[in-house]
Amino acid sequence: MRFDGGLDVQRAMAIYAHPDDAEFALAGTAATWAKAGVEFVYCMITNGASGSQDPDMTRARLREIRLAEQRDAARILGVKEVVFLDFEDGYLEPTIDVRRAVARQIRIHRPDVIFTMDPTMRYGGGYVNHPDHIAAAEVVLRSINPDASTRQMLPELWQSEHLEPHKPKALFLVSFGKPDVVIDVSDVVELKLEALRAHRSQIEPDSLEFVKSWMKEAGKKKRYAYAEGFTVLRFDQEGPPRRNVTRGARTAPRARGRRASRSTTTARRGRRRR
Ligand SMILES: [Zn+2]
């Protein structure tokens, strides 16, 4: 599939903290891309075992319920596989163990595009962001540089497990504020709502109305009935197009050099990175 006329996407992966995070944030995009033939994989870092106020519930029981709900939601959307990393819900930190587990999945599935939350989103609109969301997004950023992309980072992944380094072509950060890319999900809005309803232990009717109004708002600028918004980082474009350089924009070559020196293409072996 060609996204936006340029980005060639065969495989995509959403990496997130809890069951239902992906449904709220990007299920419309997952369903749309899956219909277009993209192999969409979910990588859920925690087990969802904290998501209840019920005193009769146990963490062990809730874990089972939420994993089953996530499997159902993924099936509805056409998501090919859900990887459960099973770290404890509510206790997530970007430790080296979590980073290794996420880097391993990126190296196995080799996605062209990775989706995650925005790690800079801490609060807003009467809402304090869950620390697991921030930690999950932080882990994904660290996977881009250096965990998944650099040969001598976590060398056991390559030496013992034969998992070659991998860097995606783009990172899509879920944006509820001012997205720079909006994706039309009008055709799959009912699928998204059905996938959200699959999270039976979590979803109230009100939350579905809220999600719909959210998607309406995101679509306004482009006149889509419903949309999902993202901040997109592209890693497959080395600097500005040539015509800009020859027109003599003085800052362009310098900007290009700076970006290249921080990239983590696997071709540059033997170089020290921090
Ligand atoms: Zn969550």
pLDDT at 244 over 50: no
What is the distance in A from the centroid of ligand 1 to the CA of 266? 33
pLDDT in tens, 146-162: 999 999 999 999 999 99
How far does Cα 134 stand from its chain's mean position? 12
Query: Rounded to the nearest 10 degrees, what angle do helices 189-197 and 59-77 cross at?
Result: 160
Nearest to 72 by CA among 163, 200, 241, 180: 200
What is the distance in A from the centroid of ligand 1 to the CA of 212? 18
Between the alpha carbon of residue 235 and those of residues 145, 171, 206, 215, the distances in Å are 11, 8, 38, 27
What's the mean per-residue pLDDT of the chain? 89
Pairing of strands 11-16, 39-46: parallel
Provide the residue ranges of all domains of the chain, joining segments of one domain with +: 2-262
What is the distance in A from the centroid of ligand 1 to the CA of 258? 35
pLDDT in tens, 160-181: 999 999 999 999 999 988 899 9
Question: CB under 8 Å to 200, separation ≥6 — which residues?
Answer: 69
Query: 171 is written with which tokens?
Result: 């990172």
pLDDT at 257 over 60: no
Query: 10 is written with which tokens?
Result: 């065969």
What is the distance in A from the centroid of ligand 1 to the CA of 48? 8
Burial of 160 (0-12, 13-18, 19+ CB in 10 A): exposed
What is the distance in A from the centroid of ligand 1 to the CA of 36? 27
Structure confidence at residue 264 as a pLDDT band (50, 70, 90): very low
How far does Cα 50 stand from its chain's mean position? 21
CATH of domain 2-262: 3.40.50.10320
pLDDT in tens, 25-54: 999 999 999 999 999 999 999 999 999 999
| pTM, rounded to two decimals | 0.86
What is the distance in A from the centroid of ligand 1 to the CA of 136? 10
